[in-house]
Structure 1
Amino acid sequence: MLFETGKAIIKPVSYPLLDELVNLLREYPDAFITLEGHTDSEGTEEDNLQLSKDRAASVRQYLIDKGIDATRISSTGYGESRPIDTNATEAGRSRNRRVEMRLKATEKFD
């Protein structure tokens, strides 16, 4: 899930991916998800930390609005501290403006 500079609004092009995630979470009701927001290095560290939290919260709210229980979703923001690409180019900065999703599934054994 990628974002424009300075924005925490989910682009409609991302809805199909999020809807697949919703279906997966419905299929596995014991699964939990952690959402990790990230930014590029444009702006201040303080602003970027807040923006990364807002991005993760936007995705969290989308999942809740689709019926996923809020207790199954945690979210956090890392600001610009964990880039996956260079911040020296627009393409790299674009990749760094993202929310990563980590699923944790629990299995019950008899």
Structure 2
Amino acid sequence: MRTAILLSPFLTSLALLTSCSSPPKPPSVDEGNRRPVNSAMAVELQVCKNELQNTRLLATEATRLADSTSATLASIAARQQALADLNAPEPPAAQGNALFTVRFGYGSARVDIPADAEKALIAQAKSAPLIMLRGRTDGPTDSLAESRISRERANAVRDYLVAAGIDASRVRATYQPVGDHVADNASASGQVLNRRVEIELYRALPVALGAGQ
């Protein structure tokens, strides 16, 4: 009975040793997923990737700065132009044609212009591209006599201007024997004002006339 008790622990140990007689298998490794951890090529590739990303970021930032600078310069230029336009002097107002009037005695075509008026007339006439003369009378009705005197007055003023140095090609003479009165022709004072030649000095050629020349 004692012998059986002593053998029991031995048998148990023997059974355990028998079950462990085969060593455990090592874990398997998939060779397709292996990557070099510290190889020089892998490190260089990673460095290149980082540098490429940094270059892209720098290029994007440079483009943004260039666009921002262009917009700023355009805004400054627009403000400077607006300021220049604000401070620019206004162009002088266009002047109208100058008008002189020569008065005549009854039935006369003699030109008699006061010295001060003559000086101003000649000075402005020399720079006028067109001079229009309009001979008028105080005649109550149309007649050959009124036509003749109105024409002679216009021609007399034309000759006067040409003699003063005005280019004859810039002078146009017209006449009208009756009408176009500037005063009441029923009164003596009005008739004095109606016996006249109007001298209109143009600042610029009329469009139709200028296009035809």
TM-score class, shorter-chain normalisation, is 0.7 to 0.9
More helix by share: 2
What per-residue deviation string (whole Å, max 9, x for no partner) do you get for residues 47-81 of structure 1? 11111111111111010001111001010111122
Max Rg structure = 2
Letter in 2 for 1:20: A
Contact 2:103-2:192 within 8 A present in 1 as well:
yes
Runs of 4+ aligned structure 1 residues displaced above 3 Å come to: 13-16
Residues 1:36 and 2:147 are matched in the alignment: no
Give matches, 1:24-63, under 5 Å: 24-26=124-126, 28=127, 31-41=129-139, 45-63=143-161
Cα distance between partner residues in 2 of 1:47 and 1:9: 16
Displacement of 1:9: 0.3
Residues 1:7 and 2:108 are matched in the alignment: yes
Distance 1:14 1:77, change over 3 A: farther
Letter in 1 for 2:167: D
Match of 2:200?
102
CA RMSD of aligned residues (A): 2.0
Identity %: 30
- Number of equivalent positions: 104
Cα distance between partner residues in 1 of 2:173 and 2:140: 22
Match of 2:188?
90
Displacement of 1:15: 4.6
Cα distance between partner residues in 2 of 1:18 and 1:9: 15
5+ residue gaps, structure 1? none
5+ residue gaps, structure 2? 1-101, 206-213
Where relative contact order (Cα < 8 A, 6+ residues apart) is larger, the structure is 1
Letter in 1 for 2:160: Y
Cα distance between partner residues in 1 of 2:150 and 2:190: 17
Letter in 2 for 1:90: A
TM-score (norm 2): 0.45
Cα distance between partner residues in 2 of 1:106 and 1:55: 25
Displacement of 1:14: 3.5
TM-score (norm 1): 0.83
